Each structure stands twice: as structure tokens, then as C-alpha cells.
A and B are shown apart, each in its own frame.
Chain A
């Protein structure tokens, strides 16, 4: 996973809840996440500070997972932002 250094501080310091980066519909990098809520059956639900992000698609896998970021890979067909 790319290591992004923010010269101004962390995302929380900047007041940004999370940072989502998409590479087409094949890969999504989420920074600022707190954990995984659901994983399996073509659904990956990730919890951030204020929201929950739900990825739907085919063959979704969590490529890697760290304390504050994760990478979801596969064929992403939908992204929902749940309150």
C-alpha cells in the first residue's frame, strides 16, 4: 500500500473523515478507516469515523489491512455511504 505522508498532519487533524481512492472499478484504497464490519458474499463494509462505506461487487477481497487503511480489490459494482 502506498505510504502517503501528509505534511499538514493526519486526516483527523485536518478534519477529513476519510480518504477514498479508486483505480477504475478494480481497486479501492480507504484511508482513515477504523475496522471491517462485514466481509464476504460480494460485500465489504468498512467503518470510518463518521460513516460506514459499503462496497458491493464480484470477487471482492481485502488485499491488505492496517490500523487505519485498507485496500479492497475485485470487480466493484457499487459503493454506498451509509450514515
Chain B
């Protein structure tokens, strides 16, 4: 029925009243004459609807029945076009809109990446753009297979990739390689030597023959666990030694902190440049040029979204802030704090999982700054593998 209503509206129809005479004779005469009427109303307000092109043909039937016809309403597309004929711009605008929408739908509006974890999305998007897929690319120019092969050559971490086009959105689906776990190489024969000088606190020997005991003092490079294993019958075999040997060691770290510093301070002058990103093209919205001198810039890109989908339009804003170098002097407390932080960082990198049992810091102030020295007593794993090369 909806189709019937739409068809009647597209062709145009008129609602009319029948005045005087015999409306019944009029309706019967119309029916015999092949004029189709609908929504026929009886007395006292006789009337009906008829297709616009059939209205003139009813005059004869009306004359025969002695009736007069009066149009009450004209509905439909032909009447709408006639009413708005003075406003041709409306129809031209509507036609232009339809044409622009059709042309835009032939291009890719946005590119999305899914399935990546280790490889950043920005790098994949940059690679896709370099291979010819970016907002504004024609959909028929997108070759998913060739695109996927070329991008995968750039990223060895990606083991599978495809590009799907759904509507105006191109989605690159990526699957990354799963890294192989590190396997211990049991074919290489190795001893365990001491990585640092200290006193052994505890030992866990998994393979090999231990040559030291808990409580022994060892020096750096000393053999702690041998790869030679003697069996009960006196025979020797070579096995890769493995052990965890926790020892108390001593380290001295020195950090120098200068008091004279320089930093960049904003002068207060700010220049904001805004651009409109449309289909990959950048259109400036402000007429300000890039400033000269020493400026710090921050950039912000905002994409327009519709129902969660990124549109090929957005804004790109650059905020330029003028800066100047300013000299300043650290206070003693600030210098000390910085020295302690740096010493902690060095200790963490040195110990690799070990812990500091005690520390004895000392400071030496000079005209250039602070020399901060800390003597650390640590508990760390000093087992270090040392491969034995055997000539066949």
C-alpha cells in the first residue's frame, strides 16, 4: 500500500467535491468511462480523489449527472514542482548535493587499522599512505592483495594482513607474529664464574659441580661452578653448568651535578595556526605565517566522527610559543635531590634485580657543583656463564 501511495504522489492527484445533481450518477458514469476514483465519500459531502491527468475527462460525466466539481486539494510531485518553479536554485542545490554525495562515495573516507599490538597504528597508516591508500583515494584504485604484500614487506613483525573496504571505510586487518620463546642452548658447554667480588650468601646449583660454598669470599672471575661432572665410577662428563649464586657485594657510584643550569622560558607571545583537513588536503583557516626565531610548537589533530566512524574531515591546530633561554642556579637541596635520583637509577641498572642492603653516601661541594658518592652494599646474583670452547 505504501508503494501505491508513493506512486499516486509521484504522479499527482486531486481531491474534489461533487456539488448538486446526482453524485451517484456521476460516480457510475466515471466508472463506466474508465476513470478510476478512490476515497469516494457519499452524501452529504460527496467527493473523491482522482489522478491529476484524469481530472479533465470527468467533466463530461459531471455534465451528464448535472453536477459541478470543485477541487479541494492538489497533492503530489507535479504540483510541488509547479509551486517551486520560481525557486530553481532549490532543485539545483538538491541535484548538486546528490551529485556531490555520489562522487564522494566513490572515494575512501577513512582508513582504520585493527589487530595490531606491537606495531604502532601511526606507522601502519603511514605505510598504507605511502603505498597509495589514504583518505581521498578512489575505491576502485585499491588493490587489497598488492597493498597487503607491500606493507608486510615493510614490517617483518606482521605475518598476515588484508585490506577490506566496507562502504567508504577501508580497514586494514593485521595479525602479528608470535615471538618464539628463548630456549636454553644445552649443546654449549659452559662454566659459572663470579661477575663481581663478594661473599656468597646462598647458592642454587642446577647443573655442574660447585667449587665454592656458602660463606666463601670470591673474587671477580673466579670459577664457582664447573661444567665437569664426575660420576660414581670416576668418569667425567661435560655438562652446561647452571646456577643462581647470591653474594654480598660492594659498589661505589659517583654522580656529578652542576649548579649552573639553563632552561627555556616562554616570553608570553603565542601564535595559533588552524587548518582544516579535508580528504587529505590541508586548508589554512588562519592567515598567520610560521613565526621566525626560537619558538616551541605543539600540534593537535582532531578528527570529526559520526556514529563512531572517522570522517575525512577534521582540524589541525599548531600552537607556537616563543621561548628564551634563562640561566638559573640550583639550590643545594635541589642538587642533592637530583644526585640521589641519578645514583638510584645507576644502581638499578647495575644490580639488575639485586637489592641494596645498605648505603653510605658522601657529598663534596666544589665551585662547579656537587660530587655525590655512595658506597653500596648489595645482594646480587653474581653467576655469570662462561663458555668453554672444545677443539674436536
Chain A interface residues toward B at CB < 8 A: 34-41, 44, 60-67, 70
Please give the distance in Å from B54's CB to the nearest CB on chain A. Answer: 13
Whether the Cβ atoms of B24 and A34 lie closer than 8 Å is: no
Q: Which residue of B lies closest to A37 (CB)?
A: B24
In the complex, whether B23 has a CB less than 8 A from a CB of chain A is: yes
Q: Which residue of B lies closest to A38 (CB)?
A: B24
With A36-B24, A38-B24, A39-B27: A65-B32 Cβ-Cβ less than 8 Å: no
Whether the Cβ atoms of A65 and B42 lie closer than 8 Å is: no
- Against A, the Cβ 8 Å flags (1 = close, 0 = not) of B45-86 are 010000000000000000000000000000000000000000
Size category of the binding interface on chain B: 10 to 19
Whether the Cβ atoms of A39 and B31 lie closer than 8 Å is: no
- Which residues on B sit within 8 Å (CB–CB) of A44? 42
Partner of B43, one of A34, A35, A39, A70: A39
- 6 A-B pairs besides A36-B28, A65-B27, A67-B31 with CB distance below 8 A are A35-B31, A39-B46, A44-B42, A62-B42, A64-B38, A65-B40
* Complex Cα gap A65–B28 (Å): 8
- Which residues on B sit within 8 Å (CB–CB) of A40? 42-44, 46
Write 22 A-B pairs (CB below 8 A) sorted by A numbering: A35-B28, A35-B29, A35-B31, A35-B32, A36-B27, A36-B28, A39-B27, A39-B42, A39-B46, A40-B43, A40-B44, A41-B43, A61-B40, A61-B42, A62-B40, A64-B37, A64-B40, A65-B27, A65-B28, A66-B36, A67-B32, A67-B34
- Which residues on B sit within 8 Å (CB–CB) of A63? 38, 40
In the complex, whether B41 has a CB less than 8 A from a CB of chain A is: yes
* Complex Cα gap A33–B23 (Å): 17
* Complex Cα gap A41–B37 (Å): 20
Whether the Cβ atoms of A61 and B24 lie closer than 8 Å is: no
Whether the Cβ atoms of B32 and A61 lie closer than 8 Å is: no
In the complex, whether B273 has a CB less than 8 A from a CB of chain A is: no
- Which residues on B sit within 8 Å (CB–CB) of A65? 27-28, 30-31, 37, 40
- Which residues on B sit within 8 Å (CB–CB) of A66? 31, 36
Please give the distance in Å from B43's CB to the nearest CB on chain A. Answer: 3
- Which residues on B sit within 8 Å (CB–CB) of A70? 31
- Which residues on B sit within 8 Å (CB–CB) of A39? 23-24, 27, 40, 42-43, 46
- Which residues on A sit within 8 Å (CB–CB) of B44? 40
- Which residues on A sit within 8 Å (CB–CB) of B239? none
Q: Which residue of B lies closest to A43 (CB)?
A: B42
In the complex, whether B25 has a CB less than 8 A from a CB of chain A is: yes
* Complex Cα gap A34–B38 (Å): 18
- Against A, the Cβ 8 Å flags (1 = close, 0 = not) of B15-35 are 000000001110111111010
